Amino acid sequence: MLNVAVLGGSGYTGCELVRLLLSHPYVRVAAVTSERSSGLSIADTFLNFRNTALKFESLNLETLTKKADLFFLCLPHKTSQETVAFLHKAGKKVIDLSADYRIKNAQTYNQWYNTPHLFPPLLKKAVYGLPEIYREKIKNASIVANPGCYPVSVLLGLAPVIGESFINKDSIIADSKSGTSGAGRNPAQPFMFCEVNESVKAYAITVHRHTPEIEQELSSISKKKIKIIFTPHLMPMDRGILSTIYVKLNRGIKLSNIRKLYQDFYRNEQFVRVLKNGAYPATKAVKGSNFCDISVFLDTRSGKEHTLIIVSAIDNLLKGASGSAVQNMNIMYAFDEATGLMASSPSP
């Protein structure tokens, strides 16, 4: 059995991660930390854990390193930096669900997160944890930077075509809509029921912190500097992300050829489903699962400059966070990649 610890387990992402790990056949959850809930039973915070005796404990790294070999960090941005460095020095493997090790350039991180990165050499060691793109690197990684939720939906949508010559790489627009769980569990006025119910609003236009992460990975895949227009929206639902991505084409190409490109690219991927022609991804169809559903459409009405429209749907807490983290763990420890993750979305 692999002994694991979840640091910062009282938020939505931590809760989902503990839930997945408790049902994993090759894993023992040795510790779950929470500063605000230390000493309390996990069941006191999340009623769905009534059958476990686990209790939250304080974040004492000296003690924790004696309990586990793999650490999942669900800590706030900026907080994970030193924790990852400590655990790495102690010879432990880490899957960090914060943004602290996703951005490879320390100056870019400083610019978008308003704090210096204290461990630039570790940024080079960290592997970006998107299995469909970096599986081979993840296998031997000691630090995995789990992707952000919006980036997963956009990157999986664009990965099959971003390196193709027939797209205009300077014309990419991503319009993404997310449930309120993406903002975390801390109470804040913009995410109160009366604020979000019966309302949809855009936010963080041109300044969302997932923008450099998306651009970094698109640039890496395409071998060309990529800039995108990314606009997130807050939806009156608990969970889920729907991204609609627009890309201008440099030359005419048939939709059937693009569909085949996607089908071939994801042919061996268990968690990416390219839907049949004309089918629309929906957040309800992936809720509670580790799947990403993708459809592609082609607008040919604008003359020679056709527009490719890509729609992707994920559960922001699963494929966009905890599900991907467990998928990364499975790869790192040579478990079957789908172990503990094949549950489908529940019926309405």
- Which CATH number do you get for residue 69? 3.40.50.720
Residues 116 and 11 in one domain: yes
- CATH number of the domain to which 169 belongs: 3.30.360.10
Model pTM score: 0.95
Structural domain includes residue 105: yes
Q: Give yes or no: residues 109 and 157 share one domain.
A: no
Q: How many domains does the chain have?
A: 2
Whether residue 165 is found in the same domain as residue 293: yes
Q: Are residues 90 and 193 in the same domain?
A: no
The residue range of the domain holding 120 is 2-125
Q: Per the domain annotation, does 256 fall within a domain?
A: yes
Give residue for tokens 């000493």: 39
Residues 96 and 215 in one domain: no
What is the average pLDDT score of the chain?
A: 94
Question: Is 40 contained in some domain?
Answer: yes
Q: Are residues 226 and 154 in the same domain?
A: yes
> Beta strand pairing status for 70-73 and 56-57?
unpaired
Are both 183 and 74 inside the same structural domain?
no
Choose the weakest-confidence range: 47-56, 63-72, 149-158: 47-56
Q: How far is CA 273 from CA 84, 204, 270, 312, 332, in A?
A: 33, 30, 8, 10, 23
Please write the tens of the pLDDT for every residue from 182-222: 776 666 777 778 788 889 999 999 999 999 999 999 999 99
Whether residues 157 and 98 share a domain: the answer is no
- Averaged over 252-261, what is the pLDDT? 94
Do 50 and 120 share a domain, yes or no?
yes
DSSP sequence for 217-265: HHHHHHTS----EEEEEE-SSSS-EEEEEEEEBSS---HHHHHHHHHHH
| 247 and 112 together in one domain | no
Active centre residues (catalytic): 149
Q: pLDDT tier at 347 (50, 70, 90 boundaries)?
A: low
- Residue 10 included in any domain: yes
115 with 156, same domain? no
Q: What is the mean pLDDT of residues 256-260?
A: 97
Q: Identify which has the larger pLDDT, 225 or 186.
A: 225
| pLDDT band, very low/low/confident/very high, at 56 (cuts 50, 70, 90) | very high
More confident residue, 35 or 283: 283
- Considering the domain architecture, whether residues 162 and 271 belong to the same structural domain is answered as yes
At residue 45 the predicted structure's pLDDT band, cuts being 50, 70 and 90, is confident
8 A C-beta contact, residue 171 and residue 247:
yes
